[in-house]
Every structure is written in C-alpha cells, then in structure tokens.
Structure 1
Amino acid sequence: MLLAYLDEVGESGAFISRKHKHFNTSPGFGYAGFVIPDSNAREFGAIFTKEKRILFSKEFVSAANQGAWEIKGASVFRSKTPTYAPQNIRVFQNLCRQLIRLDGRLFYYVDEKPKGTPKQVSLDQDLVERRAMEEVLNRVCTAADARGENVMFMIDAINEDQRSKRLPNMYAHILGRAADKPEMRRAVEPPMHIDSELSASIQFADWVAAVIARAVEYQLLGNDDYQWVGEALWSQHSKIFTKESKLHFLTDRSIDDLHTWDLLKRQRPLKTPGSIIADPETAQKMERLFQASRSQKKP
C-alpha cells in the first residue's frame, strides 16, 4: 500500500500581485507532498527527523516540547536561501535522494488562479479547494493503480469547520467517480487530517509544498528569486516526481500545462514563449559558449 502525505500549496483566496495591498498571497492553489510505500514510511520519517534536528540544532535544543517540535517549510526555503542558508537546500536534496531510494516520489497539483478581486473573478473559495482536491485524489489514485497498490491519504490538519465541510465532498467524489474510473477504488479511505507536530512525514510534505510554491511562483510570476529551485533539484529531475504531477494553467491560455519536472525548467512558457533555454544544464552550456565567444573577440 502507498501512503500519500500532502499539504496545501498557496491559499485559495483572490490574487492580484505580490505588491497589492490586500490580494498578494499566492498566484496558484493546490497540494503537494509525496507518496511512499507504507513499509518504508517509518524509515523515511526517521531520516527526516534526524536531518531536521541536526540542521536546526539550536532551535531544537531550545524547544519547549522537543517531541512536538517542527519548523515550517516557509521558514526553511526563502528567496535568499541559496546565499544565506545553502545547507537547507543540501539537506532537502539529500532527503529527496533518500525518498527515491525508498521507492517514494514527490507529487504536486496546482491550479493557476485568475487575477482580480473576489468580485472580479467571482471567487468561490470552497469550489477552488474542492476542485484542486478532486484532481489530487484522481491523480494519486491513478499513480497507485499503475503500481498495483492501494493508497491512503494524509493531509495536514485543518480546523474542524473546514474538515467537516470538505470531508463529505472528498468521500462523495471518490465513491461517485469509482463507477467509471476503477482506479478510484485504490483509495482505502477519504483523506485523514493529521497534526503536523505529531507526524514527521506531514512535516516533510510541508517542506515539499513550500518548495513547490516557490517553483510555481517562478513559473507564474516570473520571479527570478526562485530560479534556485530548479537548479537545486534538476540533477534528480527524471525520478523525483510522479508522472501525474501537474501545474494547470488557466483554460484560456494557449500553452500546455506543466507536467512533472517541467516545473523545474528554467524556461517559463507563460512568461517567455518561444524561449530555447529548456533547463539548467542547457542554460549553463549556452552561457559558457557565450562567454567563450566574447573572450575570443577581445583584441
């Protein structure tokens, strides 16, 4: 059986720009995390806990409750992380290598949000959340079916009002879709909500969601501060994601959605259509050729 640990990417409210006074949180909304065989989940959780406590040893030692101590991904991965905390990236890279070794994969599904005030875009936050979660359920069940495995979903805890509202929708979606899509029968239960303080795996899902959020911002907003995400993970790009992972553009776009490791590419089809720079390796080779040609032209 597979275990899928997930956390939210961004938030479901309206978005205009990063500089807007009110609507500035995130250009997309969805979920990200990882899937792993249940037999390997405990080992990976132990690896994550050890690495986290070493990386943030000062914070851990001073924590009032070390057994329930966590550090959020939003604090671990920032725009200047490569400069001021490159060790955070190195630890995340190693955790991804360990995940792959244990037959796990990262997963993401994110919808681009239309820009505008709630009134301008006729915002229905419940609908935004429900549609994203339905796609997550569909895609993770498809991934599980391809491996001949059942799957259980674990999501970072939300408040009771949200949980009671969302759970029936998720349950109805799984049952309703199973009649035509047998892969939905791979879901053992509708998603369970778990307090991240009590689950190392949910904490890692939060780190993954933070990294994916930065990659999404790089793609949707053209924010060069987060180019480092693709650079950091590119060496593992061919194995790191389930093939069902996806960044879904608005339907009126004339470009294809981004799948799996396309999210890590330096090329941004939304911002730079027709760009020939496809990935960090190609970009670095072109830069070396450019610099070599310049030096040859000097007298």
Structure 2
Amino acid sequence: MLIAYLDEFGHIGPYIEDGHPRFGQHPIFGYSGFIVPVQHARALGAEFKRVKTALFKTEIEQSPVPAQWERKGSEYFSTGSISKRPEQLRAFRGLMRRLHSLGGSLFYYGDEKARGTLKQTGRDSNTITLDALRETINRLCRYADNADDDLLILMDAITDKSRRELVAKLYAHIYSRPRPEMKRIVEAPLHIESELNSGIQLADWICALLTRASHFQMVKDSTFAWAPEHFRDSMQGMFTYESKLHLWSGPPLHHSEVFKTKPHHSHPLGANSIGDRVTNMRAVYEAAMRQRQLGAT
C-alpha cells in the first residue's frame, strides 16, 4: 500500500493581481505533499522528527507541549529564514534524499484561479477546494494503479463540519467516477491534526516550498526567486509523472518544471481595464475547465 500525505498550497481566496490591496496573495490553489510505501512511512517520520529536533531544539524544549511542537512551513520557507539559516536548506534536501531512498515521491496538483472577486468569478472557496481535491485524488489513484498498489490519503485536519461535507462529496466522486484506477483508493482522505503527525508536518513544509516556487513562476517580480535557485537541482526527478499545475494563461507546468529558473509568468489577455481582463480571464478559465471535464490531462 502507498500512503500520500497532503496539505494545501497557494491560497484559497480570490486573486486579481499581485499588489492588490485585498486580492493579491497567490494565483494558485492546490494540494501537495509526498507518497511513500506504507512499510517506509514510519522510518521517514522518524527521520523528520530527528531533523526537526536538531534544527529547533531550543524552541521544542521551551514549549509547554514539546511532543506537539511544530514549525509551520510558511515560517520554515520564509525569505528571512532561508537567508539567515542555511542549515534549513541542507536539512530539507537531506529529507528529500531520504524520501527518494525509501521509494517515495513528491506530488502536487494546483489550479490557476479565475481572476476577480467572488462576485466576478462565481467560484467560492468550497468549489475551488472540491475541484482541486477531486483532480488530486484522480491523479494519485492513477499513480497507484501504475504502481499496482492500493492507496490511502492522509490530510491536515479541517473543521468538523467542513470535513463531513467534504468527505461525503469525495466518497460520491470516488464511487461514481467510471475509471478502474479509482478502485485503488481504500477510503476518502482521512484528516489528522498536524501537531500529532510528522508526515503531515513534512507535507506542510513541501506545500510551503511549492507555494513559493509557483508564486515565482506566475507573478512578475516575485520575491521568491530563491526557491528555484536553491532547490532546482535537488527537485529533479522527485515528482510523480502526475504532478501538474493546470493553467489557463498558458501551457501547464509538469513535474519539476515548477522549479525552473525562467519563470512562466501569467500575462494579461489583451484587455486594458481590470474589469475587461476579469471577463476575458473567466471565459478562458471556464473553457479550460470544460476541456478538463471531457478528460484532458
């Protein structure tokens, strides 16, 4: 059996453009993490705990609950942290080598969001989440089927009400999609508190790095050029074939392309005003979504 540990990357909220006072955080939303054979999951978790303890020994010892202390990926992969603590670069690369040696791989799937406010795009956070998670499950099941193995997905916990609603929709998707690879997944994704699980914490670190790398690809003058600069070489060959950024502004990015040093960048579609640009972008986005529903990869 394979276990996939996942978390969110990018940002779930509306996006118009970088620097917008309300809607300028990130143009992508998706899921990322890693997949590892079940017999090696414990070894990888132990290695992550060892590395985390070595890096943050003082903070852990000072915590009122040391066993539940975690360093969030957004802090681990902040620009300031990367520049001041080069040992974190070496530690993360070491974790990636260990994952690879255990037969594991990295995975991501993300959608470029339609640009505009909720009213302009008609796509709320629940819709964005469900679309990205359905496609994430599809691709992970395809990976498991190619490996001739079963699959279990573990994810960071969400509120109980949201979890119940989401799980019901995902069960419906898993059992209604007429593809043989869907039989590989043994349950809808299970949710675990990140402070209790090393695998979920490592997935959070991976998601934070993917957030930085994809921002560099999509946003002109991004401050995260250090992501491909420091990790391009170590990320080569680490991602599953099914890893993808689905973009309406150009061809998709696959596998380690998200770490290429020449950025993709999202360009306006020939409109002058933000209103016109939003209208055009939404039309392109909806066309791309229809194509994907017809089975495009």
TM bucket normalised to smaller: 0.7 to 0.9
Q: How much does 1:27 deviate?
A: 1.4
Give the Cα separation in 2 of the matches to 1:123 and 1:71.
Answer: 32
Q: Give CA deviations for 1:74-96 in whole Å, capped at 9, x if unaligned.
A: 01001234321222111111110
* Structure 1 counterpart of 2:260: 265
Give the Cα separation in 2 of the matches to 1:219 and 1:175.
Answer: 35
Greater alpha carbon shift after TM alignment, 121-130 vs 46-55: 121-130
Alignment equivalent of 2:238, drawn from 240, 243, 246: 240
Following superposition of structure 1 onto structure 2, how do residues 135-284 of structure 1 map, counting pairs within 5 Å?
Answer: 135-177=135-177, 180-250=178-248, 253=249, 255-270=250-265
Q: Give CA deviations for 1:232-251 in whole Å, capped at 9, x if unaligned.
A: 2222333211111111112x
Q: How much does 1:11 deviate?
A: 2.9
* Structure 1 counterpart of 2:3: 3
SS at the partner of 1:64? Answer: coil
Across the two proteins, how many residue pairs are aligned to each other?
267
Mapped contact 2:215–2:222 kept (Cα < 8 A): no
Q: How much does 1:109 deviate?
A: 0.6
Letter in structure 1 aligned against 2:185: A
Q: How much does 1:223 deviate?
A: 4.1
SS at the partner of 1:256? Answer: coil
Mapped contact 1:4–1:153 kept (Cα < 8 A): yes
Letter in structure 2 aligned against 1:94: G
Letter in structure 2 aligned against 1:23: F
Greater alpha carbon shift after TM alignment, 82-91 vs 213-222: 82-91
Q: Give CA deviations for 1:28-56 in whole Å, capped at 9, x if unaligned.
A: 11101000000000000000001011111
Aligned CA distance change for structure 1 residues 64 and 223 (closer, same or farther; 3 Å): farther
The structure with more radius of gyration = 1
Q: Give CA deviations for 1:190-211 in whole Å, capped at 9, x if unaligned.
A: 0000000110000000000000
Give the Cα separation in 1 of the matches to 2:124 and 2:11.
Answer: 12
Give the Cα separation in 1 of the matches to 2:108 and 2:259.
Answer: 12
Mapped contact 1:93–1:232 kept (Cα < 8 A): no
TM-score (norm 1): 0.86
Mapped contact 1:217–1:223 kept (Cα < 8 A): no
Letter in structure 1 aligned against 2:236: S
* Structure 2 counterpart of 1:102: 102
Give the Cα separation in 1 of the matches to 2:236 and 2:210.
Answer: 16
Aligned CA distance change for structure 1 residues 239 and 231 (closer, same or farther; 3 Å): same
Q: Give the RMSD, CA atoms, in angstroms.
A: 1.4
SS at the partner of 1:4? Answer: strand
Give the Cα separation in 2 of the matches to 1:161 and 1:25.
Answer: 26
Give the Cα separation in 1 of the matches to 2:221 and 2:47.
Answer: 32
Runs of 4+ in 1 over 4 A off after TM superposition: none
Give the Cα separation in 1 of the matches to 2:227 and 2:221.
Answer: 11
Q: How much does 1:5 deviate?
A: 0.3
Mapped contact 1:32–1:107 kept (Cα < 8 A): yes
Mapped contact 1:109–1:135 kept (Cα < 8 A): yes
Aligned CA distance change for structure 1 residues 195 and 217 (closer, same or farther; 3 Å): same
Q: How much does 1:231 deviate?
A: 2.3
Q: Which runs of 5+ in 2 are unaligned?
A: 268-297
SS at the partner of 1:80? Answer: helix
TM-score (norm 2): 0.86
* Structure 1 counterpart of 2:128: 128
Identity of aligned residues (%): 38
Letter in structure 1 aligned against 2:209: V
Greater alpha carbon shift after TM alignment, 36-45 vs 164-173: 164-173
Give the Cα separation in 2 of the matches to 1:78 and 1:170.
Answer: 33
Mapped contact 1:35–1:104 kept (Cα < 8 A): yes
SS at the partner of 1:172? Answer: helix
SS at the partner of 2:114? Answer: coil
Q: Which runs of 5+ in 1 are unaligned?
A: 273-299
Give the Cα separation in 1 of the matches to 2:62 and 2:17.
Answer: 37
Give the Cα separation in 2 of the matches to 1:142 and 1:223.
Answer: 36
